[in-house]
Amino acid sequence: MSLEITRPTLVVRQLSDRDTWTYTYLLIDPATRQGVLIDPVREQLERDLGLIRELGVELLYVLETHVHADHVTAAGMIRQQTGAKIVYGAAAGVQAIDVAAEDGSELKFGQYKIKVIATPGHTDGCVSYYVDGMLFSGDALLIHGCGRTDFQQGSADTLYSSVTQKLFTLPDATRLYPAHDYNGRGCSTIGEEKRWNPRLGNGQSREAFVELMNNLDLDLPKKINEAVPANLASGISFDPKRYLHEEFSMSDLYKAWHNLGEDELIVDNRTPEEYEIGHVPGSRNIPFGTEGQSADELKQYKRVYLYCRSGRRAQTAFANLSIMGLNNLVCVGHSGMPQWVLGGFEVES
């Protein structure tokens, strides 16, 4: 018997979170060590980062199949640690991500291409990812089951179309890797589900499926009220008290301004009109609401100070940029330009 491997094959690590019965997948191209991570769970952050480090993976993407209601994603924190890009289906409407993937679009890692298949129904923004004979179906199609359709804009009718017209048209041998299995079954195939899935297989009619799904009468997931808003921010919920360890005042900003290094920047988050009237000398005007467009550039600085008039806009800009992965920010959170003027500090206009 020969055990020789003729072609290096895609490495698939199926990782589980037993609290929520969630499967996370780490895919690695052995030739280039480039990889992607699908549906990471916040509680498993250290495990997943450890594995990525140990295996020497250059993580390109964190792929989310949908906005989960049962667990909080680790995507935002993994992006901060690895520089990987966060991908959601475009219809999920999640802010502060890197790729809003359209149906049919492709993502490359190493020698592999991931095809994005929009599979709405469990939620309206659900996508499945197809790569190399494998389908990562999220909660659209589960092993001998499917995701519920009674919240997050779910629709049994839509899910029926997604599964029967898209997923069931893939080759029977396609291996199915779902986001959950509550019985530890790991994986299935499209052929097996077409034959045996009690909800959607064996030629189940649309009417019977909708009737079945609309009468499941399930309890809400325990974490839904925490998980959905947190996942809309890629798992990094903004708590000003956590980030603004100490009160940073306009007098502190004056000291920082006095010794400002080449690699430091002061940003004024007020409107151009307010900025015109008078601002901290040398500060850059990035009006609140547009800060996201400057995120990549602001990342290059060792430190970026934010201020506005009362601290409210600077704090919100601070939150938005933190969610986008910036960890070099200092925010004047409870005062602003009027205190600078009162302090008698130099004003530029």
Residues forming contacts to Fe ion in the complex (CB under 5 A) are 139
Using the minimum distance from each CB to Fe ion, give the nearer residue, 153 or 271: 153
Determine if residue 69 is left, alpha or beta; phi over 0 gives left, psi from -120 to 50 gives alpha, anything else beta.
Answer: alpha
Question: What residue spans of 169-249 are helical by DSSP H?
Answer: 190-196, 206-213, 224-232, 240-243
Name the residue nearer to Fe ion (CB basis): 139 or 193: 139
Calculate the alpha carbon distances from 232 to 74, 76, 133, 240, 289 in Å.
12, 10, 30, 18, 18
Burial class (CB in 10 A: 0-12, 13-18, 19+), 183: exposed
Q: Give me the least distance between CB of 323 and Fe ion, in Å please.
A: 21
Minimum distance from residue 228 beta carbon to Fe ion (Å): 10
- Closer to Fe ion at the Cβ: 139 or 291? 139
For residue 138, what are the contacts with CB-CB under 8 A and spacing of at least 6?
A: 39, 65, 66, 119, 122, 126, 127, 128, 147, 178, 179
Q: Estimate the crossing angle of helix 45-54 against helix 75-82, to 10 degrees.
A: 30
User: Which residue's structure tokens are 């979170």?
Assistant: 17
> Which of 139, 181 has the CB closer to Fe ion?
139
Residue 193 or 291: the one with the smaller Cβ distance to Fe ion is 193
Residue with CB nearest Fe ion?
Answer: 139
Output the smallest distance, CB 223 to Fe ion, in A: 11
Residue (51 or 63) nearer to Fe ion, CB: 63
**CB 340, min distance to Fe ion, A:** 48
**How far is Cα 244 from Cα 246, in angstroms, rounded to an integer?**
5
Q: How far is the CB of 152 from Fe ion (least distance, A)?
A: 8
Q: To the nearest whole angstrom, how small is the minimum distance from the Cβ of residue 189 to Fe ion?
A: 22
CB of 190 to Fe ion, least distance (A): 20
Q: Are 80 and 42 in contact (CB under 8 A)?
A: no
User: For 243-274, what is the HEC assignment?
Assistant: HCCCCCCHHHHHHHHHCCCCCEEEEECCCHHH
Q: Pick the closer one to Fe ion by CB: 76 or 138.
A: 138
Whether the CB-CB separation of 270 and 285 falls below 8 Å is answered with: yes
Minimum CB distance to Fe ion smaller for 167 or for 265: 167
Strand pairing class (127-131; 112-118):
antiparallel
Q: What's the min distance (Å) between Cβ of 122 and Fe ion?
A: 6
